[in-house]
Amino acid sequence: MEHQQTPISPEMTFPQQHHSDEEFKRRVRKTTILLSIITVIELGIGLTIYTIHKGPDPSHMLVLMFKGMVCILTLAKAYYIVSVFMHLGDEIRNMIMSVVVPLMLFIWFIAAFLWDGNSYKNLRNSYDKHFEEKTIQKKSGGGH
């Protein structure tokens, strides 16, 4: 394909170059397939969690592990959408950093607030036995 040789906007010093038609199509196809496969795996894990929950003695650790796996897969999906579909991967490094570095705040944000919620639960369970009795998951019929 032919590139425009003049910058299309005064802010842009260099004409934006894009991948050739062939390479572009290959990349989009690859990313689409990848996103679909990841989604299917996520759904598979979701159904696995469902069957574990339905089982006679759900293992809490196993469920937590599967949930962690889904979170990692979701981050992978997010990476492909942002980097390929939104073309952030093709921008100048400084520009990428100006978007990605502020997002690092999420690491603290998520950790702090989940920790806080969990701590509130623990405090309530130890000081408010009525709350604990009323809301804790009872073992289902066949169990203990």
Partner 1 sequence: MSSHETAQGVKWWNGGRSPFNLEYGKLMMWYFLMSDAFTFGAFLISYGSIRFSQNFWADPNVVFNALPGAGHKNLPLAFVSVMTFILIISSVTMVLGVHAGHKGDRKGVIKWLLWTILGGIAFLSCQAWEWHHLITGEHAVLADGKIELIGQTMGGNPWGRLVEGTAVTDALKNTSVQTLASMVHEHHAAMNMADLLKMPQDKLIGMIDLAETHIREKGPIAFGGYFFGITGFHGFHVFSGVIINIVMLIMTWKGVFDRRGHYLMIEKAGLYWHFVDLVWVFVFLCFYLI
Chain contacts with partner 1 (rule: CB under 8 A): 1, 4, 8-9, 11-14, 16-19, 24, 28, 32, 35-36, 39, 42-43, 45-47, 49-50, 53, 67, 70-71, 74, 77-78, 81-82, 85-86, 88, 90-92, 94-95, 98-99, 102-103, 105-106, 109-110, 113-114, 116-118, 120-121, 124-125, 131-132, 135-138, 140-141
Report in angstroms how near the CB of residue 76 gets to partner 1 at its nearest.
10
Distance between CA atoms of residues 60 and 139, nearest Å: 13
Q: Which residue, 53 or 62, has its beta carbon nearer to partner 1?
A: 53
DSSP symbol at 86? S
> Are 80 and 35 in contact, with CB atoms under 8 Å apart?
yes
Report in angstroms how near the CB of residue 86 gets to partner 1 at its nearest.
5
> Are 45 and 70 in contact, with CB atoms under 8 Å apart?
yes
Q: Is 102 exposed, middle or buried (0-12, 13-18, 19+ CB in 10 A)?
A: exposed
Report in angstroms how near the CB of residue 57 gets to partner 1 at its nearest.
16
Q: Work out the end-to-end distance of the chain between its first and last CA atoms, rounded to an integer number of angstroms.
A: 70
Report in angstroms how near the CB of residue 98 gets to partner 1 at its nearest.
8
Distance between CA atoms of residues 39 and 45, nearest Å: 10
